[in-house]
Amino acid sequence: MNAEVNTSTVTALILAAGAGTRMKSDKPKVVHKVLDVPMIQLVITAAEEAGCERILTIVGHKQEQVRAVVPDTVECVHQPDQKGTADAVVVAADALKGSTGYLLVMCGDMPLLRPETLRQLIDVCRNRSMAVLTAQVDNPSGYGRIVRDETGSIAAIVEDKDASPAELAINEVNTGIYCFALEGLFERLEKIDSDNAQGEYYLTDMVKVCRAEGEAVIGLQLTEAEEAHGVNSRVQLAQAGQFLQKRINEKWMEKGVSIVSSEMTWISPDCELEHDVEVLPNTTIAKGSTVKRGSVIGPNTRMYQATIGEDCAVEESIVHGSRMGDRCTIGPYSYIRPEVDLGNDVRVGPSVEVKKSKIGDGSKIPHLSYIGDATLGEKVNVGAGTITCNYDGTKKSHTTIEDGAFIGSSTMLVAPLTVGQNSVTAAGSTIGEDVPEESLALARARQINKDGWVKKKKEGR
Ligand code: UD1
Ligand code: CA
């Protein structure tokens, strides 16, 4: 091997051109989600965390849908016909022209690989042409079998469909993850033919090519075979979710998070929890949410793109695209919709919907209300059943409620509107005009009592 090779550069190549027929889906396999993250994104993250400096993805079947879920930093290369895994690498030749170092080849349908494992494989490949990640499995059917020579290096990888009975009995399988030295790689790939049971260009035949050059191929065996779990069907997709769920929940428990029921808690890999957070059953924390220390989330709660401060309680509620400060309490049965910004010590009680609003410190919306397109100052109290009437059928209008204001129960606040500092609206009012500060606004029909009306009616008078 050329010692001049820049060993610090590793490029990842993710194979994702296949259709994934067994998923029986209109979507390409790699866009299916595991814990709310597209499978291919999990593979990309593992490559990034393993230190790969550049990431390429081979796309083919329904490529637009794959391109749509991969980040801009990942380059997509189109493979027009899926002629086999070796062909999939060959189509990246132009994109990799002039690149040095190593190429880590991964499959887009293996979402459980750990970055540490990938780093180990790269290390094993240092100053070699090829290293293969292998796994010992109970049921090897469908996988390429690893045939080792007397020295322990890999003599061949034999596909299921090409294997002899003796080879079929081998339990060590090819995971489909490899590291190659980029130097000379494409010249070697040219030597691979499609003379096999499937008539495909097999990347696994690189073993033969390397050995013909007198190079030993090293196999790195996984200690935890689950990492190589591949997703080919919906059943395997669900299994991947369960493996990842357990792995993530155990990670947070080790960091001081209490999770009452791991089976009933779904935390996406892109979320952050601090110590002393408690997660109660049937709770989903997804899409980059953050929960700060001491907060209790759940039961029966879902949050997406949410930032929860310290010592909050979010019970039986949905929080989506919003943030809150410290010591807030939400729910039960509340819906915090996008662009809501709650200060500290805010109470949003049962059956309250809040949308695109800023709520100041210490304010309370304790029961059954709709607050949308509003700015509430500090220590505002919103009575039960209050509604910001923000939409006239054409446009949305804003409501401002200044510090210390008290909104009586069942107030209709017809926006645009400002309720001044420390003012009070009478219960049952429909407020359509600004209320000056320190004032009472009363806007409801005067009550009339008709003495004896019921009695007279009964007597037919
Ligand atoms: C491959 C390996 C097998 C290994 C198994 C592990 C070969 C010949 N065999 O078999 O030894 O045990 O993976 O899962 O490599 N792909 C493309 N373009 C192609 C062909 C495939 O992008 O032309 C992609 C697929 O989308 C998939 C991956 O490569 O992500 C693997 O291809 P697949 O056809 O599933 O290979 P296997 O038969 O499973
Ligand atoms: Ca496969």
Q: Does the Cβ of 201 fall within 6 Å of ligand 1?
A: no
What pLDDT is recorded for position 13? 98
CB 234 within 8 A of CB 196: no
CB 199 within 8 A of CB 156: no
Q: Does the Cβ of 56 fall within 6 Å of ligand 1?
A: no
Residue nearest to atom 36 of ligand 1 (CA): 85
Cα 150 to middle of ligand 2, angstroms: 29
Residues 6+ away with beta carbon under 8 Å from 401:
374, 375, 376, 377, 380, 382, 407, 413, 418, 419
What pLDDT is recorded for position 461? 79
Residue 123, H or E segment: helix 115-125
* Rounded Cα–Cα distance for residues 75 and 62 (Å): 16
What pLDDT is recorded for position 80? 95
Own/partner contacts of 331-338, CB < 8 Å, gap of 24 or more, are 331/301, 336/306, 338/305
Q: Please name which ligand lies nearest the alpha carbon of 174.
A: 1
What pLDDT is recorded for position 8? 62
Cα 132 to middle of ligand 2, angstroms: 16
Cα 28 to middle of ligand 1, angstroms: 15
Q: Does the Cβ of 134 fall within 6 Å of ligand 1?
A: no
* Rounded Cα–Cα distance for residues 397 and 81 (Å): 54
Catalytic site residues?
367
Handedness of CA 189, 190, 195, 201 (dihedral sign): positive
Q: Please name which ligand lies nearest the alpha carbon of 90.
A: 1
10-residue averages of pLDDT along the chain (461 residues): 54 95 96 97 98 97 97 97 96 96 97 97 96 96 95 96 96 97 97 95 98 97 94 97 98 98 98 98 98 98 98 98 98 98 98 98 98 98 98 97 98 98 98 98 96 95 79
Residue 274 tokens read as 């601090």
Q: What is the pTM of this model?
A: 0.92
Residue 115, H or E segment: helix 115-125
What pLDDT is recorded for position 30? 97
Q: Please name which ligand lies nearest the alpha carbon of 56.
A: 1
Count of C-beta atoms within a 10 Å radius of residue 410: 18
Residue 66, H or E segment: helix 63-69
* Rounded Cα–Cα distance for residues 311 and 12 (Å): 41
CA atoms within 13 A on the CB side of 181: 22
Alpha helices in 291-439 (DSSP H): none
Cα-flanking dihedrals φ and ψ of residue 25, to 5°?
Answer: -135, 155
What pLDDT is recorded for position 7? 46
Residues 6+ away with beta carbon under 8 Å from 144:
157, 158, 159, 160, 173, 174, 176, 204
User: What is the CA 93 to chain-centroid distance, rounded?
Assistant: 31
* Rounded Cα–Cα distance for residues 106 and 175 (Å): 9
Name the burial class of residue 115, with classes exposed (0-12), middle (13-18) and buried (19+) by CB atoms within 10 angstroms of its CB.
middle
Residue nearest to atom 35 of ligand 1 (CA): 18
Counting ligand 1 atoms within 8 A of each CB, the residue from 29, 77, 81, 85 with the most, and so the one to mutate, is 85
Cα 175 to middle of ligand 1, angstroms: 9
CB 48 within 8 A of CB 42: no
Residue nearest to atom 26 of ligand 1 (CA): 18
Strands 387-389 and 412-414: parallel
